[in-house]
Amino acid sequence: MTTRAVLALGSNLGERDDTLAAGVEQLVDHPQVRLSKMSPMVQTKPVGGPEQPDYLNMVIEVETDFEPYALLAHCQGVEQAHHRRRAVRWGPRTLDVDIITYGDLVCDDPQLTLPHPRAAQRAFVLQPWAWMDNSAQVAGRPVASLAAEADDLPGLKLYERDV
């Protein structure tokens, strides 16, 4: 069975834009994951955690034949291919891939909580998602409305790669 899922990607170490582009390619370079939509990249200030460099973030929508935990394992495998370290909670990272939604599934498990428990408050997820899909909803509310209310919206800007 095919399910539509929304994934959020972020990077604040190394060549951030190249890492995000490679991460998307690796996520969809599997017969069970197909890219449907992709947001633009945004540059954002870190939310929580230690002092660290700015992030680049983006959101993609995929159609997947993976079950939720298999999709999670696939996302973590792509993170590991980019040398993701989990030493400090909300610390800097080469690549972070979060499952934001998996169809209409609601799951409250220590390993996987869906929809993502903090997505509805984070402009760095909500704004790119709203640009990608202006009819998107999470937790029964329009993503665009939630983005407008997010505390971190003022620190967000559309990323334009230096030429």
24-41 pLDDT per residue, tens: 999 999 999 999 999 999
Q: What pLDDT score does 83 carry?
A: 81
Give, as one character, the DSSP assignment of residue 41: P
The answer to whether 59 touches 9, Cβ cutoff 8 Å, is yes
Share above pLDDT 90 across residues of the chain, in percent, rounded to a whole number? 81
Class of domain 3-158: alpha beta
Domain parsing of the chain, residue ranges? 3-158
Q: Which residue has the higher pLDDT, 56 or 85?
A: 56
The residue-averaged pLDDT of 97-109 equals 96
Residue of 16, 96, 122, 152 with catalytic role: 96
Are the CB atoms for 143 and 119 separated by under 8 Å?
A: no
Residues 6+ positions from 145 with CB-CB distance below 8 Å = none
Is the pLDDT assigned to residue 22 strictly greater than 90?
A: yes
Task: From the candidates 4, 17, 54, 84, give the one annotated as an active-site residue.
Answer: 84
Identify the active-site residue in 16, 93, 122, 152. Answer: 93
Average pLDDT, the chain: 93
Secondary structure of residue 92 in the 3-state scheme: coil
Average pLDDT of span 74-90: 81
pLDDT digits (tens, 9 = 90+) for 119-146: 999 999 999 999 999 999 998 999 999 9
Angle between helices 16-28 and 68-81 (to 10 degrees): 140
Q: Is 84 a catalytic residue?
A: yes
Q: How confident is the model at residue 51 (pLDDT cuts 50, 70, 90)?
A: confident
Count of alpha carbons within 13 angstroms of residue 146, beta-carbon side: 24
- Is residue 62's pLDDT more than 90? yes
- Residue 86 scores a pLDDT above 80: no
Quote the CA–CA distance of 81 and 78 in Å, as a whole number.
5
Of 152, 156, 132, 91, the residue nearest 7 (C-alpha): 132
Considering the entire predicted model, what is its pTM?
0.94
Question: Among this protein's residues, is 86 annotated catalytic?
Answer: no
* More confident site: 93 or 61: 61
93 catalytic? Reply is yes
- 16 is a catalytic site residue: no
Report which of 132, 48, 130, 28 is spatially closest to residue 88, judged by C-alpha positions. Answer: 48
